[in-house]
Amino acid sequence: MSRPGVDRPQHEANEWAVQAAAYDVACRTQSGKAARVVAGRATDAADCRELLAMLGLGAEPERIG
């Protein structure tokens, strides 16, 4: 008898890992785009920092690729 969430075939675990990695990349990409929009619309550096903090983004988003 299999236990839900524990006894998974290896291919399911690999698919999950691939999807998790793709989600991580998509989130970082979206965060970077949002940070660039905020930086372009902010009136000064303090405004930019405050707006980024409101969105839960750091002042320097991670770079990918």
pLDDT tens digits, residue range 6-19?
666 677 778 998 99
Q: What is the pLDDT of residues 19-45, one digit of tens each?
A: 999 999 999 999 999 999 999 999 999
Triad 20, 22, 28: Cα angle to 5°: 100
- Cα 34 from Cα 17, distance rounded (Å): 26
Domain count, the chain: 1
Q: What is the pLDDT of residue 13?
A: 75
Q: What is the pLDDT of residue 60?
A: 54
Provide, rounded to the nearest whole percent, the portion of the chain with pLDDT above 70: 74
In a domain, 31, yes or no: yes
Number of Cβ atoms within 10 Å of the Cβ of 47: 13
* Model-wide pTM > 0.75: no
Residue 26 phi/psi, 5° resolution? Answer: -65, -40
In a domain, 28, yes or no: yes
Structural domain harbouring 41: 12-54
Helix (H, G, I), strand (E, B) or coil at 20: helix
Question: Strand locations in the chain, DSSP E?
Answer: none
